[in-house]
Amino acid sequence: MQHLRRNPGVGVHSHFFYPSLNTEHRPLFLRLPLSLTNATIWCSMSPADTQLTNAPRPRVGIPWRTTQEQRDGIRDKLDLYFQAVRKAGADPVDVSLQQSPAELEKQLQDLDAFVLPGSPADVDPARYGEPRHAKTVNLDPNRDNTDAAILRHALSSSKPVLAICYGCQILNVHLNGTLVQDIHGEKPASGPHGATDLPPGSVKGDIEHQAQFAPESRLANLNGSQAVIINSSHHQAIDKPGENLRVAAHAPDGTIEAIEWTGSPNWVVGVQWHPERRGDALSEKLFAEFVGAARSAREAVAHKM
């Protein structure tokens, strides 16, 4: 066997050669082409794919449903919203109802989007200039104030909002709309919208009814048709829509079931039903589109920095 000899005429990537070995018998590293300066190494993942894979998940703020539930640590219904947001690809963050305005604003600055959940409380009718109805019994000033602060921040900074049930109602009130304080008390001919509308002895829980989406609405496009079946658990509803809100869905009795923001390109949708616990295809699409909007909003802020 011959000894290896240094070849002074060969570059740093090939300091040695095998004079007695044919090419096919040379070690693999000597049969590879020499590396080139600024060469491109091709792989299966594009730069865009890499950015998507490494992109932080959007942070979605969700206020507690009520002050009492927060004090008692009752999370069973709140966690349904957390689960839906996680499944759609974002990280949910609970927003305390007992923060100072300064503490709340500091937290909101660090969040990318917001889900306003349902609540057993009613929006204070003083917020829309009407006397309190006999059936408007549960008020929660902390929840009202927190949601109002979230909406001011989100609308002024173009952060997406998905407002559900109570959240849909306070979104409407925040934009100078009004509410029907008790559907059956004020509109006796209306169909059932919650367990309190059912005869004594009926099985409690969400009821279901038909609804019709407005043509060309965001929700109609998501659903793929105007007709839909929704779950229902509320005794109040939107009366006069707020400023820059279009009605996106009605129940057969005329009750408003959804609203969409038209004041800017920002993604803001309010639904009167409960997609977080319905689990159908429309619910998953709704949360997925919301999280997609949150991701886009986060990226837009990052590009401005």
Active site residues: 165, 274, 276
Distance CA 73, CA 67 (A): 10
Give φ, ψ of 125 to 5 degrees: -65, -15
* Mutual angle of helices 101-109 and 141-157, in 10-degree steps: 40
* Helices marked H in the chain: 28-31, 47-54, 67-72, 78-88, 101-109, 141-157, 166-174, 183-186, 218-223, 281-304
- Give which of 299, 240, 291 is closest to 88, Cα–Cα: 291
- Give which of 292, 282, 299, 63 is closest to 160, Cα–Cα: 292
Contact between 238 and 196 (Cβ < 8 Å): no
Distance CA 293, CA 204 (A): 35
